[in-house]
């Protein structure tokens, strides 16, 4: 498990992400889709990547809006894995 990021490291990392917000020990982003099933397809890709990396976001599907919340609960906070996966999620979103 990666080491927990310091507050300074978190601020720097979150500033380099697009549309992600810091919420306590989580980073959070809402993704909007033109169709409900596109959001479901996005979640399915996220789920497969989560299993592959054994690192899982909390996922909410609210019709055409998908919210992802990331933290490294084994580390008790944010790690590089969270920020790296946030970028992967954004790349997947661009492909949907
Ligand atoms: C036992 C299992 O490997 C652990 O609980 C994994 C599963 N997925 C995980 N996902 C996230 N986001 N953080 C973790 O610390 C984590 N740990």
Task: List pocket residues of ligand 1, CB cut-off 6 Å.
Answer: 54-56, 71-74
CATH code at position 67: 3.30.1360.20
Question: Is 70 inside a domain boundary?
Answer: yes
Task: Kindly state whether residue 29 falls inside one of the protein's structural domains.
Answer: yes
90 pLDDT exceeds 70? yes
Kindly state whether residue 36 falls inside one of the protein's structural domains: yes
Mutate which of 25, 56, 59 for ligand 1 pocket (most atoms within 8 A of beta carbon): 56
- Give dist(CA 54, CA 17) in Å, integer: 22
Residue 59: closest CA among 38, 34, 28: 28
Is residue 1 domain-resident? Answer: no
- Tokens coding 91: 């790349």
The rounded Å distance from CA 5 to ligand 1 centre is 16
State the pTM of this model. 0.96
Number of domains in the chain: 1
Residue 2 located in a structural domain: no
d(CA 70, CA 46): 12
Q: What is the domain extent for residue 73?
A: 7-95
Atom of ligand 1 nearest to the CA of 73: 15
User: Does residue 58 lie within any of the structural domains?
Assistant: yes
This model of the complex carries an ipTM of 0.96
**Bridge partners for 10 per DSSP:** none
CA 26/CA 20 separation, integer angstroms: 10
| pLDDT tens track for 15-64 | 999 999 999 999 999 999 999 999 999 999 999 999 999 999 999 999 99
């Amino acid at each position: 498990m990666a080491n927990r990021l310091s507050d300074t490291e978190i601020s720097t990392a979150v500033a380099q992400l697009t549309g992600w917000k810091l919420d306590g020990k989580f980073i959070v982003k809402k993704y909007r889709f033109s169709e409900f099933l596109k959001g479901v397809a996005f979640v399915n890709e996220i789920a497969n990547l989560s299993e592959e990396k054994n690192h899982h976001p909390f996922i909410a599907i609210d019709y055409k809006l998908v919210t992802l919340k990331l933290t490294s609960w084994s580390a008790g906070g944010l790690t590089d894995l969270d920020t790296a996966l946030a970028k992967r999620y954004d790349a997947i979103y661009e492909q949907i």
